[in-house]
Amino acid sequence: MEPIAKDCEHGILPADALRSFAEALRASAAALYQEGSVEVSFETPRRPEFGEFATNAAFALVRAARRGPQDVARALVDDLAARAPYIEKLFFSIEPIAGFINVRLRPEIWQAEVARILRDGESFARASHRGARISLEFGSANPTGPLVVVQGRALSIGDTLARTMRLRGYDVFVEWIINDTGAQVETLGRSVYARYRQLDDPAYPFPDDGYPADYIAVIARALRDREGDRYVKVSEEEAIAACGDFARDELVAQQQESAKRFRVQYDLWQSERELHESGRVAAAIERLRELGLTYEEGGATFFRATQFDDDKDRVLIRADGRPTYYGADVAYHYEKLRRADRVIDILGPDHHGYIGRLRGLAAALGFPEHLEVLISQQVTLMRGSEQVAMSKRAGQVVTLDELVDEVGVDAARFFFAMLATDTPLTFDLQLAAEQSNENPVYYVQYGYARIASVLRKADPADVASARGANLRTLVHDAEIALARRLAELPAVAQNVVDQLASHRLPRYARDVASDFHQFYTECRILAEEPSVRHARLALCLATQRVLALVLDLLGVSAPETM
């Protein structure tokens, strides 16, 4: 591996330097303890004084060496210095501490990373096209009301994943299933019909299980404005069906506008009713029959779900001949699994029971490893110390649009994405609206705006020179810490995709902003010495590029002034 060290000043990747170190360390382990296959992995120490990276490889050699881990680590470092002196061209320090081997890369490697970011520009962290197709469904809701905050969280998480997947070279197809069949849509029709009748007859009874929220009355009045008293003159059954269809179309259109306002674009809004009417539900169930995975009992058709680790067999067709909701799931997922290499569903907090049954369905259809299911956990809204009540059934609905009206799209998207998907989220409305460093999205955006301010104050000639500046003067601890953080983005983005961990992007954005604010405090950017000034402006430009990219992945704006 010596050739890699000879060219470190021309842009060796940190990962390549660590790989070179690992191979040299394995050679030392083989020479000293006949253990050349020892695993050498690296982690970032919690305390910066312990180095940039650390490996615990010495602990795995304790038995073979019959010595303590610190003695083993010391012996490995000494052997490494004699056996692979070229490593010194890559690493500023290599120290055995408490059995760990802690290392710092030479500044030239981090300087090269800054140059790489400036050179790559908008393509930084962008991976080449992989040819892998991903179907990503999120936010799907019954068309029985406007989007509410829990769906806003799913939209933020799902769209952040989609944007990051595209950055990393995947073909992503984003979709929404409109659950426009079943009891809830029937209840919607009865609720709208009752409000429609009450426009002429206030005493007309409202159904006990109806939706009492104000938006039902708004839809009823819109129907009356368009159709007059037409549905007073027809049968109640016909009128309720028409009211349900009208309300569904109105609410789906509202949901689509809310998603668009939230900066989320879908490739497909799939109607469940259309799946039934087109015969695709029947065809998918027939496919399960062909596979020998159905049986008849009591006039109903069942899927042998227990063969695929479900807790019970699932009804596909009721005894009266009507397909179940699960039957539509069969059709919808059969289509997604056939056209994608990876299918991801982000479901709401009350859908834990769907995980096993959907995975079992994918296995039954011949795609056992293709489907992943995430649960977007519940959101609790707080305004100061007071919890905000949310209940569609009780008519107390906090819509996504109302949330955006209060705190803005930027804060809403950032806050929704901050915690792991399966972790309940407490959303502090007061904090989200604050313009202070306590507000995490404000703190990140302020970092971007501060860079823009520095660049405006600088001489344009200096900014132009910074793009091709010699970066050897970037040796201050704050400069190296920031450069090191910027270099992490490709790995962070790939980890978001691999682990479906969108929450790591807000955390990374805050870390970048924090490191920049530290650099801004400790280093005079517009220094008198031109070489220092140009290098520090280059670091500003690289930071600006990374913050802009991460904010865009989160669907958050990057303001030039604040």
- From the CB of residue 240, how many other CB atoms can be counted at a distance below 10 Å? 22
Element holding 92 (H helix, E strand): strand 91-97
DSSP 52: S
Distance CA 303, CA 215 (A): 39
How far is residue 152's CA from residue 259's CA, in Å, rounded to a whole number?
Answer: 8
Show the CA angle centred on residue 127, arms to residues 126 and 129, nearest 5°.
125
User: Both ends of the chain: CA-CA distance in Å?
Assistant: 49
Mention every residue, 6+ apart, whose C-beta is less than 8 A from residue 30: 36
Structure-block tokens of residue 226: 């368009």
The two structure tokens encoding residue 179: 């659950």
CATH number, domain 2-105, options 3.40.50.1220, 3.30.1360.70, 3.30.930.10, 3.10.20.440: 3.30.1360.70
Q: Which two tokens stand for residue 489?
A: 């983005």
How far apart CA 143 and CA 125 sit, in angstroms, is 38
For residues 97 and 53, is the Cβ–Cβ distance under 8 A?
Answer: no
Q: Of 116, 110, 121, which is closest to residue 8 (Cα–Cα)?
A: 110
Query: Of 349, 314, 340, 350, whose CA–CA distance to 329 is shortest?
Result: 314
Could you tell me the CA-to-CA distances from 205 to 201, 247, 373, 484 in Å, in that order?
A: 9, 19, 42, 67
- Bridge partners, 301 (sequence order): 296, 317
Segments in 7-133 forming alpha helices (H): 14-33, 62-65, 69-83, 107-120
C-alpha torsion sign, points 285, 286, 290, 296:
positive
d(CA 559, CA 362): 44
Q: Round to whole Å and give the CA distance between 233 and 397.
A: 33
The pLDDT score that the predictor gives to residue 11 is 58
Per-residue pLDDT tens, the chain, 562 aa: give them.
444 444 444 457 898 999 999 999 999 999 999 988 899 999 988 887 888 999 999 999 999 999 999 999 999 999 999 999 999 889 999 999 999 999 999 999 999 999 999 999 999 999 999 999 999 999 998 999 999 999 999 999 999 999 999 999 999 999 999 999 988 899 999 999 999 999 999 999 999 999 988 899 999 999 999 999 999 999 999 999 999 999 999 999 999 999 999 999 999 999 999 999 999 999 999 999 999 999 999 999 999 999 999 989 999 999 999 999 899 999 999 999 999 999 999 999 988 888 989 999 999 999 999 999 999 999 999 987 888 876 544 446 789 999 999 999 999 999 999 999 999 999 999 999 999 999 999 999 999 999 999 999 999 999 999 999 999 999 999 999 999 999 999 999 999 999 999 999 999 999 999 999 999 999 999 999 999 999 999 999 999 999 999 999 999 999 999 8
Report yes or no: 496 and 161 within 8 Å, Cβ to Cβ.
yes
DSSP letters along 218-283, please?
A: HHHHHHHHHHTTGGGSS-HHHHHHHHHHHHHHHHHHHHHHHHHHTT---SEEEEHHHHHHTTHHHH
Q: Are 475 and 410 in contact (CB under 8 A)?
A: no
Helix, strand or coil for residue 54?
strand
Q: What angle do CA 552, 553, 555 make, to 5 degrees?
A: 60
Burial class (CB in 10 A: 0-12, 13-18, 19+), 232: middle
300 beta partners: 297
What per-residue confidence (pLDDT) applies to 390?
Answer: 66
As a three-state string, the secondary structure of 313-345 is: CEEEECCCCCECHHHHHHHHHHHHHHHCCEEEE
Burial of residue 90 (number of CB atoms within 10 Å: 0-12, 13-18, 19+)? buried
Radius of gyration of the chain (CA): 29
Q: In what order do the strands lie in the sheet with 91-97?
A: 53-55, 100-105, 91-97
Task: Provide the pLDDT for residue 200.
Answer: 94
- Per-residue burial over 511-539, b if 16 or more Cβ lie within 10 Å, else e, is bbbbbbbebbeebebeeeeeebbbbbbbb
In three-state form (DSSP H/G/I as H, E/B as E, the rest C), the secondary structure along 184-215 is HHHHHHHHHHHHHHHCCCCCCCCCCCCCCCHH
Beta bridge partners of 133: 171
Q: Please tell me whether residue 175 adopts helix, strand or coil conformation.
A: strand
Q: Are 340 and 130 in contact (CB under 8 A)?
A: no
Q: Which CATH architecture has domain 436-553?
A: Orthogonal Bundle (1.10)
Contact yes or no for 219/252 (Cβ under 8 A): no
The residue among 373, 379, 415 whose CA lies nearest residue 399 is 379
The pair of structure tokens assigned to 390 is: 């949310």
> One-letter amino acid identity for 142?
N
Distance from C-alpha of 369 to C-alpha of 337, rounded to nearest angstrom: 10
Element (H or E) spanning 555, and its range? none
Residue 290 carries which side chain, given as an amino acid letter? E
